[in-house]
Structure 1
Amino acid sequence: MRHPWSMVKAAYQVVRTIRDPERLEDIVELAGVLAPPRALGRITEGLRSIPSAAEALRERPRIGPVDVAALRTLPPGTLGRAFGDHLLDNGLDLAALPRLPARTDAEYFRAHMLEVHDVWHVLTGFSTQVAGELGLQAFSLAQLGSPFAAGILTGGLANTLLFAFPERDVRMRAIVRGWLLGKRARLLFGAAWARMWERPLAEVRASFGLEVAAVEALLPPVAQSC
């Protein structure tokens, strides 16, 4: 049973995240609330039935230290160059993320998902704005059935209703795009991205069935907000 104070703190973080969905520190802390150990155990149990995921849970590849300057010397169009540009353009510092342990399958799942979040941004083409973050969580939910992703989407829709209703079309379009991409693609979980920096981004997307252009073509342009 959760301590009452931890439940109060979690509720406060949920409310604060709904009000300001760009607070990374709250979102990281909410992972333990929205995806507790029991839920992670169910996810990893399901992943063991998928050969690529089962291999990842055995080998537990990590991103490791990222040299942004080195990545930006790679040829344009490579995964590593796109990732380095993404980090620089958005003012992101991966060293600021907590280095989580990965002693168990559940711990590895949490650590891996935190580390690869921005790699998935590059692969899926989602921005780091609120709509893009919601789209990426829809992608994650489609791929993994993560309660954390479902919780963030719920909070994002609440934020849209209460504080950003004119953004409803662009956010819902991103969510639909993420869900379709996630359902059509091969499982991304557990891939050793650090070994793929020099590969062309288009080639990596194709190898995972990430039909970015095809899904984009299915969706109508965003309607003018009222």
Structure 2
Amino acid sequence: TSLVWRQPAQALLRARTSHGCVLSAQCFASTYTTSTTSGDDTTPALTPLQRARLSLQAAAGALADPSRADLVAALGETTGDFALRAMARRLNNTPHGRGILETQPLFDDAFYDACARAPPSTLGAAYHTFMTKRGFHPSERPAVRYVSNDDARGAAGDLKYVMLRYRQVHDIWHVLFGLNTTVFGELVLKAIEARQTGLPMCYMSAFVAPAARLPRAQRERFYAVYLPWAWRAGNTCVDLMAVDYNEAVEKPLEDVRREWRISVAPAQVAITPSSPSSGS
């Protein structure tokens, strides 16, 4: 679905917002031409006004068309500075978290291959099955464009990496919580992500988007049953940004869930062989 970022993070392509403004690659390139370089990536140097404008346009466009993964990504990046810094501080406050910030492990081909070799009923095997059935691959996650590391080194860590890690763990959270990739399942997971990460984009997806995107019966059930469950689940489990997924690949999935205090979603949105492969 649209609620994460499977498409490349290109400059904002065509999307009409509720104000009638068309976002296009040409318009964006001509508006935000100054950039700063951090590592191998180039980050547009946005003024506060430009950042606010981009956030509003991305929010309106993403709400109107949730399939616009580029708009959802831009919204998460332009509104997430405070939450990213808080996550980086949490990581930096533990030895294992500091190791994550220093080594910056990725869900790359090596990780995916290890999952493919993992024994049945393990976290790695379940994750690999989830991804292959839907035609997903971890490498599809785009680069982070609108988060700058200029003031993020040292105690705050690497904010660009924290955002990328958030995107990369999304699919394995689907597996851990037993949530499918329908729009409904994605919105439930966004509520868990809101509690775990504090990202404003997740809050908007969990609390506002259901009212606009779900049919009445689903919307009522979402707010009455699944949103409270998701909030409790995100609050009860460990900090899932700070766990070692590589070390857990060959552990039985149920053991990992117990160790990380994860509760599985109510059956109506649990992963089943017939779950729609709508992306995530």
**Residue in 2 that maps onto 1:210:** 262
Task: Report if the CA contact (8 A) 1:138-1:149 is conserved.
Answer: yes
Distance 1:10 1:118 in 2: 25
**Identity over aligned pairs, percent:** 25
Q: 1:188 and 2:240 equivalent?
A: yes
Question: Larger deviation: 126-135 or 140-149?
Answer: 140-149
The CA deviation at 1:59 is: 4.1
Distance 1:30 1:117 in 2: 17
**Residue in 2 that maps onto 1:122:** 175
Task: Report if the CA contact (8 A) 2:90-2:97 is conserved.
Answer: no
Q: Structure 2 vs 1, CA of residues 147 and 55 (structure 1 numbering), >3 Å: closer, same or farther?
A: farther
| From 14, 20, 29, the counterpart of 2:74 | 29
The CA deviation at 1:216 is: 4.0
The CA deviation at 1:19 is: 2.5
Structure exhibiting the larger radius of gyration computed from Cα positions = 2
The CA deviation at 1:71 is: 3.5
TM-score normalized with structure 2 length: 0.64
The CA deviation at 1:78 is: 1.0
Q: 1:41 and 2:85 equivalent?
A: yes
Partner deviation per Cα, 1:168-199 (whole Å, 9 max, x = no partner): 13433332221111111111112221332221
Amino acid at match of 2:159: A
Task: Report if the CA contact (8 A) 2:54-2:78 is conserved.
Answer: no
Task: Report if the CA contact (8 A) 1:57-1:190 is conserved.
Answer: no
Q: Which runs of 5+ in 2 are unaligned?
A: 1-46, 268-280
**Residue in 1 that maps onto 2:202:** 149
Considering fraction of residues, name the structure with more strand. Answer: 2
1:6-25 to structure 2, matched below 5 A, reads: 7-25=52-70
Distance 2:72 2:110 in 1: 22
The CA deviation at 1:123 is: 0.6
The CA deviation at 1:89 is: 2.1
Question: Larger deviation: 163-172 or 86-95?
Answer: 163-172
Amino acid at match of 1:205: R
Q: 1:97 and 2:141 equivalent?
A: yes
1:142-181 to structure 2, matched below 5 A, reads: 142-160=195-213, 164-172=215-223, 173-181=225-233
Task: Report if the CA contact (8 A) 2:62-2:72 is conserved.
Answer: yes
Partner deviation per Cα, 1:14-47 (whole Å, 9 max, x = no partner): 22321232432322222112213x4422442355
TM-score normalized with structure 1 length: 0.77
**Residue in 1 that maps onto 2:107:** 63
Root-mean-square deviation (CA, aligned residues, Å) is: 2.9
Considering fraction of residues, name the structure with more helix. Answer: 1
Q: Does the residue aligned with 2:48 lie in a helix, a strand or coil?
A: coil
